[in-house]
């Protein structure tokens, strides 16, 4: 919900860790969206791998899950921690 407006996620996606750096980006998709999709998948399927590979992105995704996907709230919470 509005992750493209998130300056926080954009900064995390610049260097998303070894696994997410290898996410292939379809021609019609932005890299940031592909990293978000990959992180979302890992968070739900293998959260320990995401936590180990990209702890900052894991923390962001965890806040998203706990706050109903409200990007604005999560950005505030993430930057205040």
pLDDT tens track of the chain, all 81 residues?
A: 566 678 888 888 888 888 888 887 777 668 888 898 899 999 999 999 999 999 999 999 999 899 888 888 888 888 886
Return d(Cα 23, Cα 6) in angstroms, integer: 20
Domain count of the fold of the chain: 1
CB neighbours of residue 22 within 10 Å: 9
Range of the domain at 35: 3-80
Return d(Cα 57, Cα 50) in angstroms, integer: 8
Instruction: Return the closest-CA partner of residue 50 out of 4, 1, 17, 11.
Output: 17
- The per-residue b/e assignment along 39-54, b for 16 or more CB within 10 angstroms, e otherwise, is bbebbeeeeeebbebb
pTM, full prediction: 0.83
**What's the token pair of residue 46?**
């293998």
């Amino acid at each position: 919900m509005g992750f493209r407006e998130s300056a926080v996620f954009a900064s995390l996606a610049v260097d998303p860790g070894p696994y997410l750096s290898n996410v292939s980006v379809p021609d019609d998709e932005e890299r940031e969206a592909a990293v978000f999709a990959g992180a979302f998948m890992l968070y739900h399927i293998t959260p320990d791998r995401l936590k180990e590979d990209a702890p900052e992105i894991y923390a962001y995704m965890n806040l998203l899950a706990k706050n109903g996907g409200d990007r604005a709230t999560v950005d505030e919470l993430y930057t205040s921690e």
